[in-house]
């Protein structure tokens, strides 16, 4: 589902963020991506979501080689990927419902279908009662769950999460991780960047560890 082959990423300022990265995340697999800040976790996720392009090597998503993908095609690649951010990235002028509906609206889903799916996604993250509220009225953990509902509402085959529990207490963090586990059970491939090592250790999933832009360990 996500395949990296000898990927290098060097930024314009000469910083080499990723060096010779190769791994393959299978369909329906959940993996954690760990490492100190600056190890290259975010860069790796940005290559998948096409916010950055690799300097060398190939990234293949769902059978599509991103090296050959034109800028115009980027939106269609992103529709296959649900993205969850540490800072949530919600639209603060729109309600919870409208935030979650956004990925469906841009793909032209029928109106009734949107309502059904948005409520299903909000139900999944336990926020069904808050659909009419604005993100600012919610706690940090609730905002993050809105972000998660938005990421899964169009049932993408891939979900990426960048430090999803960065600002949350351990109780909320483990709730969110168990949500990921549930998505994985229905066949979604997930790649979760996190440095919450104790929580990762409890989960017993594949863990890819980065250091200075290279993979230093990859396994259970």
Partner 1 sequence: MINKEPGARVHAADFSSRLSMYLRNHIADFKSSYRGLIKNPLSTLMTVMVLGIAMALPSGFHVLLKNSQQLTQGWDGNAKLSLYLYRNTSPQSIESLMGELRTRKEVSDVSYFSPEESLASFREESGFGEALAFLDENPLPGVIEVVPSSRFNSPREAAFLVDSLQKIPEVEMAQLDLEWLRRFHAMLDVAEQTSEILGILFGLAVVLIVGNTIRLAVQNRKEEIEIIKLVGATNSFIQRPFLYTGILYGFSAAVFAWLVVSFSINWIQTPVQNLAALYNSQYSLSGMSVRDVVFLCSSGIGLGLLGSWVSVVKHLKEIEPQ
* Contacts with partner 1, residue ranges (CB under 8 A): 27-28, 49, 51, 72, 75-81, 83, 89-91, 93, 102-103, 105-111, 113, 150, 154-157, 185-189
Least CB distance to partner 1 at residue 76 (A): 7
Best CA proximity match to 25, nearest among 158, 154, 155, 156: 158
Least CB distance to partner 1 at residue 10 (A): 18
Compute the Cα dihedral for 40, 42, 46, 48 and give only its sign: positive
Residue 159: other Cβ atoms inside 10 A: 22
Long-range contacts of 44-47 (CB under 8 A, 24+ apart): 44/4, 44/18, 44/193, 44/210, 45/160, 45/162, 45/191, 45/193, 47/4, 47/7, 47/9, 47/18
Question: Is the CB of 77 or the CB of 133 nearer to partner 1?
Answer: 77
Question: Is the CB of 13 or the CB of 171 nearer to partner 1?
Answer: 13
Question: Is the CB of 198 or the CB of 204 nearer to partner 1?
Answer: 204
Residue 204, φ and ψ in degrees, nearest 5: 60, 55
Least CB distance to partner 1 at residue 170 (A): 26
Least CB distance to partner 1 at residue 185 (A): 6
Where do we find the tokens 């169009």? 154
Least CB distance to partner 1 at residue 81 (A): 8
Residue 115: other Cβ atoms inside 10 A: 15
CA 37 to chain centre: 17
Q: Kindly state the tokens that stand for 82.
A: 């649900």
Residue 11: other Cβ atoms inside 10 A: 11
Question: Is the CB of 134 or the CB of 214 nearer to partner 1?
Answer: 134
Question: Is the CB of 203 or the CB of 211 nearer to partner 1?
Answer: 203
Question: Is the CB of 103 or the CB of 213 nearer to partner 1?
Answer: 103
What is the distance between the alpha carbons of residues 170 and 174, in angstroms, rounded to a whole number?
A: 6
Least CB distance to partner 1 at residue 83 (A): 6
């Amino acid at each position: 589902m996500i395949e990296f082959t000898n990927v290098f990423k060097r930024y314009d300022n000469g910083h080499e963020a990723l060096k010779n990265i190769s791994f393959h995340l299978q369909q329906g697999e959940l993996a954690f991506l760990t490492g100190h800040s600056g190890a290259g976790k975010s860069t790796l996720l940005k290559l998948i979501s096409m916010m950055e392009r690799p300097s060398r090597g190939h990234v293949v998503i769902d059978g599509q080689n991103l090296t050959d993908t034109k800028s115009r095609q980027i939106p269609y690649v992103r529709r296959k990927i649900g993205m969850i951010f540490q800072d949530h990235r919600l639209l603060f002028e729109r309600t919870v419902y409208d935030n979650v509906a956004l990925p469906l609206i841009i793909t032209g889903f029928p109106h009734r279908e949107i309502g059904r799916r948005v409520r299903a996604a909000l139900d999944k993250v336990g926020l069904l009662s808050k659909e009419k509220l604005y993100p600012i009225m919610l706690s940090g953990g609730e905002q993050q769950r809105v972000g998660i509902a938005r990421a899964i509402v169009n049932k993408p085959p891939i979900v990426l999460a960048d430090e999803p529990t960065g600002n949350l207490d351990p109780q909320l963090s483990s709730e969110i991780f168990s949500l990921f586990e549930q998505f994985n059970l229905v066949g979604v491939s997930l790649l979760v960047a996190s440095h919450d090592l104790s929580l990762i250790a409890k989960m017993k999933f594949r863990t890819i560890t980065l250091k200075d832009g290279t993979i230093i360990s990859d396994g259970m």
